[in-house]
Amino acid sequence: MVQNATDYFTGQTSTDFLDPTNWESGQLPTDYHEVNITGTESAPVTAVIGSAYTTEVPSLTIGDYGTLKITACDTSSATAAPVFTAAALQIFDTGSLIVDTSSPVQLGINQISGTLTIDDSSNVTLTTQSLSGDGTINLNHSTLGTESAGVVLDNLMTVNLTGGSTVYTQGNGTGGVVNFDPSTQNMIVFDQSYSTVNTVFNNVSENSEFAINGSSGIVPVSASYSENSNGSYTLTIDTSNNQTITLGNINVESGYTPGSLTVTEDKAGDYVIADSNLSSSTVSGWPPGHDHSSSCDDNTNTGGGGGGGGCNNGGGDHHHHHDGCTTPTWWDRLCCTNRELDAASSLMGRCLPNGLCDWGSERGEAIEYGDTDVNFGDLTAKVSCHEALAEQFDAVHFRLDAASAVIPAPASPDCPPEAF
């Protein structure tokens, strides 16, 4: 057996992963090269993949003071090939992998002692369906795992849920610590193979949601909090088959007192346990950070630029929020800009074209539930042949030419795209 050679990223020219001069070998790694990105405390190293890298990396090591950032975007289709694939991954204590694209990224067997950050994506696939190690997973407006393929999280791992994120877990692999961002709606989903969840949950607020995967066959019928002697809380969930699920280590946000809870089935078919102060329409929508396509924005940044990766223009009810917009709640507001609209997605119970996110645009209009007068300016809209718009946008006035409260849908889903 021939042992793979190791190629080291030096970054002597730039941060561009795809520039051969940035590699110790003077050439891009091949499928028999193990890739190593390691720096020092005084000279950290960052590599950026700004375009799809189709060569599968057999082994990726992100050593101390090394960072790999993936911003590559493939807008071709929802079944696009991964823009990056690593069959094996190791991240050292001060190493970091940042996935900042909504295009598919595939990661294999792993050992994470450092940090894995996923921004605005629901398309990171773990071939082992597990994350191992004592590192940190940051999800920002992202989904990790799916209804049919939850992720086993090491019981030494810390997970941070921010910006409207969901993590689907599997079995008793629910992580050691889960930190909720109390100001945004975030959710953890259990497949509920175990009746006792030992994970510590911090900063739980009325925006924090716990859910039972609908595919598990377990249907919760009621849930309630009780205060522990140390000031923490226990969440007890009763199910239709007389099973009791207990989460005994819940620490709430300062100033929040847990009250009554509701159990609601959402659009993904999962059963969401949420604070009764959250509206039923909010809880019954798609899970936070949920997406149904791999499309992403028209990123043109290259690795050397190291720019941000992208606003997702894919289908579904997934709307990404970046700088340049007041950050709204994911279910009832999005940024509208003067870029082309290329699909249809559900919003506020109506159908609005998707692809409204151009976070570098100078123009923007926020749509919020209840808004009846929205200025689209010179916005161009295009209807996909695969999805027709709803019959009408009732009670929404679009300032196009002569404003109308009704916009007819295309007669056939097979029609060519047309502006209106």
For the segment 71-124, what is each residue's pLDDT rounded down to a tens digit? 998 876 656 799 999 999 999 999 999 999 999 999 999 999 999 999 999 999
The pLDDT of residue 388 is 42
Query: First CA to last CA across the chain, in angstroms?
Result: 62
The pLDDT of residue 415 is 44
Which SS3 state, helix, strand or coil, does residue 280 take? helix
The pLDDT of residue 397 is 42
Q: Copy the structure tokens of residue 376.
A: 């689209």
The pLDDT of residue 303 is 41
The pLDDT of residue 325 is 31
The pLDDT of residue 42 is 97
The pLDDT of residue 33 is 87
The pLDDT of residue 284 is 86
The pLDDT of residue 79 is 64
Cβ-contact 92, 69 below 8 angstroms: no
Long-range contacts of 6-13 (CB under 8 A, 24+ apart): 6/33, 6/34, 6/35, 6/36, 7/33, 7/34, 7/35, 7/36, 8/36, 8/37, 8/38, 9/35, 9/36, 9/37, 9/45, 9/47, 9/66, 10/45, 11/45, 11/46, 11/47
The full set of domain ranges for the chain reads 5-283, 319-420
The pLDDT of residue 291 is 56
Question: Which residue, among 369, 280, 277, 269, has the nearest Cα to 319 in the 3D structure?
Answer: 369
Q: With a cut of 70, list the residues of the chain below it in pLDDT.
A: 1-3, 76-79, 291-420
The pLDDT of residue 80 is 78
